[in-house]
Chain A
């Protein structure tokens, strides 16, 4: 007996046996075409998803919060705390001021020093640039901040833009309504 003979013989078995399996396995026997169509739909959907991601990711990445683990010792009073997320402003290569949503982990109390650490990171400022600040209030009890910056900040391109970004960051995260900068000798 050859394989072909066996295969032919199986093709001649009783109708009722074949009918019983067909009724049970209809979804399998008809799956080929629908599978092909389903596969085509999946591939199309995947390609479409990749295209959408390629367009949206460069836009959306600005809205993805960056997590900072500052573990910084609190120094002085706790200033206004908005919660875990903070907008930190920075300058782009084209000189535009934009912002990034930053998440400061729980257990780390945000204060101006912490925020400046993050601001430095986003504005590519090295640690040799030092900051000192003094808070005061006007006659009408409007909280203000005077920030002293070491003169080596001027070595950085667009340092005025970066300080403006820092002003926006401090006003956005703390109670101060006015922020003034003073360049001092190293």
Chain B
């Protein structure tokens, strides 16, 4: 997509307004302002240029289809959610083909602390319920602990990358992550979200 670098990027409200008006320049403006972010999120999870570009394009299509009726308050977060979801779905396919980037193998091993691969149809309903518990758990934690959790489990960043983002040492992040994991596991067990 051609980018007009001379003018500043449109604000989030302006971009959302373009989507509501079904003006296709909304996608250009989204790409201009958030293209690197979307690609970066996808690339970090998928570690493949082609897959990441497809994920990016799928994000734009999903966004076009979602707005309207949605009117996101934080477009950046809205886009990151779509991209993250698409990237992890694509990664699930790669997992079946045993083509997972190494750092995501570490990620899945970390997630295995809370869950296993066994499950049932009822699991789809409990994702929202589980999210409610995780939100409540995070609300009781410090800002730094929340950011460490989001960096590690939402974006799949390594402890070193989280440390770099938050200007902490890697060892400090590891220590806080270990505590967070243990506390969250206990929190979920107490509320009946059993681990298989």
Contact = CB atoms under 8 A, between A and B. Distances in A.
B134 A24 contact: no
A5 B122 CA distance: 10
Nearest to A1: B115
A28 interface: yes
Contacts of A34: 36
B36 A1 contact: no
Given A6-B115, A17-B146, A22 B77 contact: yes
Interface residues of B, number: 60
Q: Chain B's interface: helix, strand, loop or mixed, by majority?
A: helix
A8 to B, nearest CB: 4
A92 B185 CA distance: 79
Interface string A68-98: 0000000000000000000000000000000
B44 to A, nearest CB: 6
B85 interface: yes
A150 to B, nearest CB: 72
Q: How large is the interface on A (under 10, 10 to 19, 20 to 34, 35 or more residues)?
A: 20 to 34
B76 A22 contact: yes
Q: Chain A's interface: helix, strand, loop or mixed, by majority?
A: helix
B173 to A, nearest CB: 12
14 contacts: A5-B115, A5-B119, A5-B130, A6-B115, A9-B134, A10-B134, A12-B127, A13-B134, A13-B135, A13-B138, A24-B165, A29-B37, A30-B36, A32-B40
Interface of A: 1-15, 17-22, 24-34, 36
Interface of B: 36-37, 39-44, 49, 52, 73-74, 76-77, 80-81, 84-85, 88, 92, 108, 111-112, 114-119, 123-124, 126-128, 130-131, 134-135, 138-139, 143, 146-147, 149-151, 153-155, 157, 161-162, 164-166, 188, 193-196
